[in-house]
Amino acid sequence: MDTNQARGALLKLRAQALEQAARLDAEASALRDAIRTGEERVRGIDDPATATGAVADTDRISSVMKEKVAAIDAALARIDAGTYGLCVVCGKPIPEARLEFRPMAADHVECASRA
* Contact criterion met (CB below 8 Å) for 58 and 24: yes
- pLDDT tens for residues 34-46? 888 876 565 566 6
End-to-end Cα distance, the chain:
25
pLDDT at 21 over 60: yes
Give the model's pLDDT for residue 35: 80
Question: What's the whole-model pTM score?
Answer: 0.84
By CB atoms closer than 10 A (0-12, 13-18, 19+), residue 50 is exposed
